[in-house]
Amino acid sequence: MVFDKTKPVAIGADHAGYTYKDDAKKWLEEHGYTVKDFGTQGPASVDYPDFAHPVAEAVENGEAAFGILFCGSANGVAITANKHQGIRAGLCWDNEVAKLVRLHNDANIICLPARFISLPYALQMLETFTTTAFEGGRHANRVGKMGCM
């Protein structure tokens, strides 16, 4: 098992990504995950850090197995989440990138740009992310150097 299914998945989105978030929740539940939804729940304009920080904190504190963040470009949520120690949030726009952020970077949050990818492709990347294990080896040393000292 790549991620611990006994812990929930932390998920969040801003107004640009909330519909993808809702569909991702359904997909996760169909695949045996429980989900902790940090919002948002509608199209009203919101500030993405208000949702990215709680997702990152849940992963950082070990309360969640991993996290998923959606926003328009996914840049804002990725930057915000990566401010947290122990978080490796990867911005994914392609299925191969979703594989490599797990395989080489041991990402624990996937950030998806809802305005630039289709929902089916987002779910495909989510499947790749959740089924790809960290390769370790030469990558473990590099991942170990990511945190601030």
Domain map (residue ranges) of the chain:
9-144
Q: Say which of 53, 92, 104, 111 is annotated catalytic.
A: 104
Examine the residue annotation and report whether 111 is marked as an active-site residue of this protein: no
User: Phi, psi (5° rounding) for residue 46?
Assistant: -135, 170
Alpha-carbon gap, residue 39 to 134, rounded angstroms:
28
Q: What is the pLDDT of residue 137?
A: 80
Lowest mean per-residue pLDDT among 9-23, 62-76, 131-145: 131-145
Q: Say which of 71, 84, 92, 111 is annotated catalytic.
A: 71
Q: In CATH, what is the architecture of 9-144?
A: 3-Layer(aba) Sandwich (3.40)
Distances (CA, A) of 87 to 57, 79, 116: 9, 11, 24
Residue 1's pLDDT band (cuts 50, 70, 90): low
- Span 26-36, mean pLDDT? 96
Examine the residue annotation and report whether 148 is marked as an active-site residue of this protein: no
Say if residues 55 and 109 touch (Cβ distance below 8 Å): yes
147 vs 116, higher pLDDT: 116
Question: Which sign does the torsion angle of CA 117, 120, 124, 126 carry?
Answer: positive
Say if residues 108 and 59 touch (Cβ distance below 8 Å): yes
